[in-house]
Amino acid sequence: MLLGEYRHNVDTKGRLIIPAKFREQLGPKFMVTRGLDGCLFGYPQAEWEKVQTEINQLPFNKRDARTFARLFFSAATECELDKQGRINLPEPLLQYAHLQKQCVLAGVSSRFEIWDAEKWDNYNDQAQDDFNEIAENLLDF
């Protein structure tokens, strides 16, 4: 399970340190792609295969399903850790998530997210203000 919040800088070559606690669970290769809310999603290989299966079951005759699949899969990149525990993020992913310097890597159970630190702080502040209301609304499911 991927848990916790970590801050690391992305360097000018697009390299980002993956926290040691994540590395243990991700294995030697894992996937990173566009996420929602302006962040990137990272998946261990086994979880990526589950997500692929779910997306491939969307009705391809629906425009939104085709668009989502195109954007999600076309940005996906297989990442491999270097000897310093870093990955190299391609330019399109850096641009999508506006990653320039300080990043937040947040564990979200079966995946992790990579956020621009300022964007994460703003999102987190807003979400915390609504946390109790969100929890109450979800309990109705």
> Over pLDDT 70: what percentage of the chain?
99
Tell me what the mean pLDDT of segment 109-134 comes to. Answer: 93
Average pLDDT, the chain: 95
> Measuring CA to CA, how many Å separate 58 from each of 35, 44, 55, 65?
17, 22, 5, 6
Q: How far apart are CA 122 and CA 110, in angstroms?
A: 23
What global pTM score does this model have?
0.94
Residues 33 and 51 sit within 8 Å (Cβ to Cβ): no
Write the DSSP string, 98-141.
Answer: T-SSEEEEEEEBTEEEEEEHHHHHHHHHHHHHTHHHHHHHHHT-
* pLDDT tens-digit series, residues 37-56: 999 999 999 999 999 999 99
Confidence class for position 141, pLDDT limits 50, 70, 90: low
Q: What's the pLDDT at 90?
A: 97
Residues 5-139, CATH architecture: 3-Layer(aba) Sandwich (3.40)
